[in-house]
Chain A
Amino acid sequence: MNVRTIGAVLAGATLGLVATGVSAATLDDIKAKGFIQCGVSQGLPGFSTADDAGEWTGLDVDYCRAVAAAVFNDPKAVKFTPLSAKERFTALQSGEIDLLSRNTTWTMTRDTSLGLNFTGVTYYDGQGFMVRKDLGVASALELSGASVCTNTGTTTELNVADYFRANNMDYEIVAFEKADEVVQAYDAGRCDVYTTDASGLYAQRLKLTNPDDHMVLPEIISKEPLGPVVRQGDDQWFNINKWVLNALINAEELGVTSANAEEMKGSDNPAIKRLLGTEGAYGEAIGLGNDFAVQAIAATGNYGEIFDRNVGPDTPLGISRGLNALWSNGGIMYAPPVR
């Protein structure tokens, strides 16, 4: 190889490096490649798990599918990237994924200095503790001196430190990279306590040898609003994600479901008409078709349907709506109006 070829190769490589970077118009990129790359968890029942055929299901997964349906009218136009807690933000920042929907807590640092934007809240959670029933512990305040298993790179690690310090209790933290190892170590007796978001505790309890030997303590020690995340610097993509979520929540409030979405188009209620795109041009304002909400709702159902199908009382997780009920039903799930 002579000098000229080496030079040419290197120069080409350099130009390539300069040209690569995260493009601002995510929607155009997605349309060009024909699917959305969505970051999900490595396996959290009810939120994102793959079955033995490789089909992903869960609340976080359904949100990705709703966005895909809104953009492509095809809920299958999504590819999923399973990410650990510590990989997730780097994957999003670097453009490896277009959207992160991975039971991620909305915090100020993440929303600002990590260069990310949270598009709303898909699940209002809080951190809880699980212990063995035979320890005879009834309250988290009796946990002084306990060994606590959790995941690295999560807000739970910080909350647990704050909680034990605030209550002047000793503890030993044992932090694993993957949730599966946390469950195994807790099951093997390495720790007295397993802590993570309460929804996660119910989900992971199913993986233990004897789920009935364990109980979740009543204390919820933190606010964990979980939501989808996009990169800063692309307002259009941010708006699309924000309004797909709002549309799902508004649909539940207005009684629009996957079954009746098409016929509701003929409704006389102006709020439903605006939501479903038969009045106004709200879809165009975010760069999509006016019927984006119909497509999303028809594909995955409204927020209530998604919740019930994945984590609701009739699923193995059996979580009641609680805080996640609509504001009109005693919860705090509330979406701004389509107007």
Chain B
Amino acid sequence: MAVQDTAGEAPGKASFIYDPKVRSIAAQIALAALLVYVGYSIVQNTAANLERQNIASGFGFLSTTAGFGINQSLIEYTEESNYGVTFIVGLLNTVLIAIVGIFLATIVGFIVGIARLSHNWVIAKLATVYVEVLRNIPLLLQIFFWYFAVLRALPNPRNSASIFDLVFLNNRGLIMPRPVFEEGSSLIFWAFLAALVVSFGIARWAKQRQAATGQQFPVFLWSLGLIVGLPLIAYFVSGLPVSFDNPELKGFNYQGGMSVIPEFVALLLALSLYTAAFIAEIVRAGILAVSHGQSEAAHALGLRHGPTLRLVIIPQAMRVIIPPLTSQYLNLTKNSSLAVAIAYPDLVSVFAGTTLNQTGQAVEILAMTMAVYLTISLLTSFFMNWFNAKMALVER
């Protein structure tokens, strides 16, 4: 006791510079100041060097006319647009490939992951081969493979494969009729929105009813009927306001309609199949992490194999799956920058490529490009963290 008492006394007489708390705060302030100084001198040094070498700087170039063409744009773009628009076009193309890629990779990944655990020997082995082959070949090679394999397999425009002479497939892409929305077609859009809201309401109501009474309701079929049916009814009621712009073979290729370029297809296949191999392993790990007793208990309650997987195993596995899944989504988004190798006009290709070369403003353009990838990744991360928190075990 006596020893403890003396040890507990504060060393008040010693100088404050020997106080560990003061010292640690001082050290951290010093470190922070140094980092700020380093950052500041990097910026200063770069600016001074650019100035000395007579290299233009600043963001004024964004309002200069670009003067080059881009073969896929989600917004209005012509050669007369400025570099600012080029940036947006590239950004949207990157976001497009990322979203569609993540969607496809998730579906394929889940299917393959579950297939690897199948009791059917052939299915399980096929899934294993898929995973081992795709995740062990460099992505860039896979992109080239899909691109040149797809290109060589497709016919030239004059020998296009066609479906009812409406949809055409050739080595310039997949060409489809483009819907033209005329006056009055907004009703269809509103009907679609209403169907979505009502379906959502039905799902909630059905869940509550099942919790209260145990009775089930065919939510999926009803929602499907509403989402397809309501806009269709609106289409007829408002007097067929949507017409189609059909592609026609003129000169070198089909004109009119809308098309999916082969670069997009190749990149999408490569990115999503590659990422799906990793997702499959994550899904398998997640399912195996759920104790076997859970499925035995579910079977004992009389649940068949499907509902056991859907209602008991997957929800618990999700807690293990989501964090590494987020990393894969981020990887897919960042890997999409390999697009430049096969001429898909993504951000790196049109902005950090052509625009950089025309203007020579590497510092500004690369900073903007990096900021975009950082922002997209942080947003994905933020959403997945929210989703993770929602799926996490609720402790009572």
Give A residues with C-beta under 8 Å from B: 3, 6-7, 10-11, 13-14, 17-18, 21-22, 85-86, 89-90, 93, 109-110, 112-115, 135, 143-147, 149, 152-154, 157-158, 160-162, 164-165, 170-178, 181, 184-185, 188-190, 192, 231-233
| Cβ proximity bits B236-271 to A, threshold 8 Å, 1 near / 0 not | 000000000000001111010000001100000000
Q: Is B79's CB within 8 Å of the partner chain A?
A: yes
CB distance from B148 to the nearest CB of A (A): 6
A188 to B156 CA separation, bound complex (whole angstroms): 10
Interchain CB contact under 8 A, B37 and A14: yes
Q: List 16 A-B contacts (CB under 8 A).
A: A10-B35, A11-B34, A90-B356, A109-B358, A115-B53, A145-B251, A152-B349, A152-B357, A153-B354, A154-B357, A158-B67, A161-B79, A176-B340, A177-B341, A185-B147, A185-B148
| Cβ proximity bits B52-95 to A, threshold 8 Å, 1 near / 0 not | 11111000000000011111000000010000000000000000
For B147, list chain A residues within 8 Å (CB): 185
Segment of B12-20, B41-49, B380-388 in the binding face: B41-49
Find the B residue at minimum CB distance from A142: B251
Name 19 extra pairs, CB < 8 A, besides A3-B27, A185-B343, A233-B53.
A17-B38, A17-B45, A93-B360, A115-B50, A145-B253, A146-B252, A149-B343, A152-B357, A161-B68, A161-B79, A164-B69, A172-B69, A174-B71, A175-B354, A177-B353, A185-B148, A188-B152, A231-B53, A232-B54
Partner of B41, one of A14, A171, A188, A233: A14
For B30, list chain A residues within 8 Å (CB): 3, 7
Chain B: interface residue total (CB-CB under 8 A): 52
For A21, list chain B residues within 8 Å (CB): 45, 49, 52
Q: Is B342's CB within 8 Å of the partner chain A?
A: yes
Known pairs A86-B356, A175-B349, A175-B354; A93 contacts B362 (CB<8 A): yes
Give B residues with C-beta under 8 Å from A: 27, 30-31, 34-35, 37-38, 41-42, 45, 49-50, 52-56, 67-71, 79, 147-148, 151-152, 156, 171-172, 250-253, 255, 262-263, 340-343, 345, 349-350, 353-354, 356-360, 362
Find the A residue at minimum CB distance from B150: A188
Interchain CB contact under 8 A, B360 and A147: no
Interchain CB contact under 8 A, B353 and A22: no
For A6, list chain B residues within 8 Å (CB): 31, 34
Partner of B353, one of A145, A153, A170: A153
Interchain CB contact under 8 A, A147 and B341: no
A6 to B35 CA separation, bound complex (whole angstroms): 11
For A145, list chain B residues within 8 Å (CB): 250-253, 255
CB distance from B341 to the nearest CB of A (A): 6
CB distance from A286 to the nearest CB of B (A): 21
A162 to B250 CA separation, bound complex (whole angstroms): 22
Find the B residue at minimum CB distance from A162: B67
For A144, list chain B residues within 8 Å (CB): 251
Find the B residue at minimum CB distance from A135: B252
A199 to B360 CA separation, bound complex (whole angstroms): 25
Find the A residue at minimum CB distance from B53: A115
Find the A residue at minimum CB distance from B39: A14
For A154, list chain B residues within 8 Å (CB): 357
Find the A residue at minimum CB distance from B40: A14
Interchain CB contact under 8 A, A158 and B68: yes
Interchain CB contact under 8 A, B263 and A174: yes
Known pairs A18-B45, A85-B357, A157-B68; A188 contacts B151 (CB<8 A): yes
